[in-house]
């Protein structure tokens, strides 16, 4: 059974995109993660720019975190 991960800030269940973008932008060795909304607050940019990055990495096909 897969372990459900929760955002360490707001406790919402994390998606693979939440985990992937955190690994890509913050730390490849992270074991705890935050959701895209909380990451946007921490990076002082909001949700939209992070979602654009997720789309870019997925569409490029070059990042194993978003396949």
Question: What is the spatial distance between Cα 58 and Cα 43, in angstroms, rounded to a whole number?
Answer: 21
**Per-residue pLDDT reduced to its tens digit, 17-51:** 999 999 999 999 999 999 999 999 999 999 999 99
- What pLDDT does residue 53 have? 96
Q: Which domain holds residue 25?
A: 1-66
* pLDDT for residue 1: 38
pLDDT computed for residue 67 by the predictor:
84
Band (pLDDT 50/70/90 cuts) for residue 3 is: low
Report the pLDDT value the prediction gives residue 4, as an integer from 0 to 100. Answer: 72
The domain tally of the chain equals: 1
């Amino acid at each position: 059974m897969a372990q459900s991960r929760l955002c360490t800030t707001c406790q919402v269940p994390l998606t693979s995109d939440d985990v992937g973008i955190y690994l890509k932008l913050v730390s490849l060795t992270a074991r705890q993660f935050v959701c895209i909304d909380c990451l946007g607050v921490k990076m002082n940019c909001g949700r939209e720019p992070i979602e654009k990055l997720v789309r870019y990495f997925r569409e490029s096909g070059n990042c194993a975190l978003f396949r």
